[in-house]
Amino acid sequence: MNKSLALEKIRAFSPQIDKVGVEERVARFQTRSIKNESKMQGLKLALSMIDLTTLEGKDTPGKVKQMCYKAAHLHDAYPDLPTVAAVCVYPSMVRIAAQALKETQIQIASVSTAFPSGQAPLDVKIRDTEFAVAEGATEIDMVISRGKFLSGEYSYVFDEIAKIKECCGKARLKVILETGELATLDNVRKASDIAIYAGADFIKTSTGKIQPAATMQVTYVMLQAIKDYFDSTGKMIGMKPAGGISTAKLALHNLVMVNEILGPTWLTNEWFRFGASSLANDVLMQIGKSQTGIYQSADYFTID
């Protein structure tokens, strides 16, 4: 679909969101009773969907190497654990991560386009993305220009995403909407539609630098956008809530929601990811609790 047609369609059909209705629906996902065996499956599935993330100014090669080791060896004391889906780092750390993970199936995701603010000229963003891909990134997490979006320049936002998609080559593109800055659920829906039509492989809630981040309400609205796109075109788009999902319980609630909106086809790490740094340990502690019946302590799990 060409751009003008897509934007016209978004302007005409991107629905208004009933906030109260969303909150009610989301509350219901949190009351599902999950039996022990399913819970164990769910916890392992959640582990396999994690994009283990470090995005800090203080990141060092040592820190990134440690995290990559953790990505491949979540907790060797428990047999039969999956690895995480990917590690997510800054472009300057991509080469180190790629080197550390070359023997594994774990993907290398890099943030780009002047993450987290996105306040840079387009040519800098393109160069940023090309650099990350050349260094070995297999997934690119870009941010949209929220300032442009909020001032109504949808066309600019659309073009930018399309342009970055071109630079990605084989790498899959995740588009971060930074929903905490979009103010309303209507905007979240509109930004989701723009990202999807402009060529996103995944849409992602947040950078993790702004609160609120991945609330279930915004994830719900974005999942609904993915569903509507799938119903009209038959094409699947991935979803990545990021930021604020730090407990196993919250992760399971999210999985329940994905299953009930999009169905089990989306319940693989090809189509659903958690962007998180501390979630992995909480899930591991829950697995430990399920296996031994004893509540676990963070003292016995690696920090990175």
Partner 1 sequence: MSRLEILKTYKIYIGGQFPRTESGRYYVVNDQQDQPLANVCLSSRKDVRNAVVAARKAFGSWSEKTAFNRSQVLYRIAEMLEGRRDQFIQELTKQGSSPSTAIQEIDLAIDRIVYYAGWCDKYQQIGSSVNPVASSHFNFSVLEPMGVVGIIAPQNSSLIGLVSLLMPVLAGGNTAVILASENLPLCAITFAEVLHSSDVPGGVVNVLTGKTTEMDTTLAAHMDVNALVGEQQSLGCVQVESVENLKRLFSFDADWMNSNAQGLHFITDIQEVKTTWHPIENIGGASSSY
Q: Which residues are catalytic?
A: 141, 204, 240
| Chain position carrying tokens 């809530």 | 241
Are 256 and 29 a contacting pair, CB within 8 Å? yes
- Smallest gap from Cβ 299 to partner 1, in A, equals 7
Where does residue 243 fall: left (phi above 0), alpha (psi -120 to 50 degrees), or beta otherwise?
left
183 near partner 1, judged by CB under 8 A: no
Residue 79 touches partner 1, criterion: CB under 8 A: no
Instruction: Please identify which residue in 156, 296, 302, 304 interacts with partner 1, judged by CB under 8 A.
Output: 296
Tokens linked to 235: 């094409």
Minimum separation from the CB atom of position 284 to partner 1 (A): 12
Chosen residue from 297, 302, 303, 304 binding partner 1 by CB under 8 A = 297
Per-residue mark of binding to partner 1, 234-273 (x: CB under 8 A): ----------------------------------------
Number of residues forming the site for partner 1 (CB under 8 A): 8
Burial class (CB in 10 A: 0-12, 13-18, 19+), 230: middle
Options 79-87, 168-176, 266-274, 291-299: segment touching partner 1 (CB under 8 A) = 291-299
Q: Does 33 bind partner 1 (CB under 8 A)?
A: no
Query: What whole-number distance in Å separates Cα of residue 158 and Cα of residue 194?
Result: 6
Nearer to partner 1, 69 or 300 (CB): 300
- What is the spatial order of strands in the sheet that 238-240 belongs to? 238-240, 202-204, 172-176, 139-143, 107-112, 86-89, 50-53, 274-276
Listed in sequence order, the residues at least 6 apart from 74 whose beta carbon sits closer than 8 Å to its beta carbon are: 47, 81, 82, 83, 84, 280, 284
Q: How far apart are the first and last CA of the chain?
A: 44
| Tokens linked to 226 | 């993915």
The Cα–Cα gap between 113 and 157 comes to: 12
The answer to the question of residue 105 lying near partner 1 (CB under 8 A) is no
Where do we find the tokens 């342009």? 163
Shortest distance in whole angstroms from residue 288 CB to partner 1:
8
Determine the interface stretch with partner 1 among 86-94, 258-266, 268-276, 290-298 (rule: CB under 8 A): 290-298
Q: Is 78 in the site for partner 1 (CB under 8 A)?
A: no
Piece of the chain touching partner 1 by CB under 8 A; list 28-36, 90-98, 137-145, 289-297: 289-297
Query: DSSP label at 128?
Result: H
**Cβ closer to partner 1: 57 or 293?**
293
Q: Is 299 an interacting residue with respect to partner 1 (CB under 8 A)?
A: yes
The residues of the shown chain that bind partner 1, judged by CB under 8 A, are: 293-300
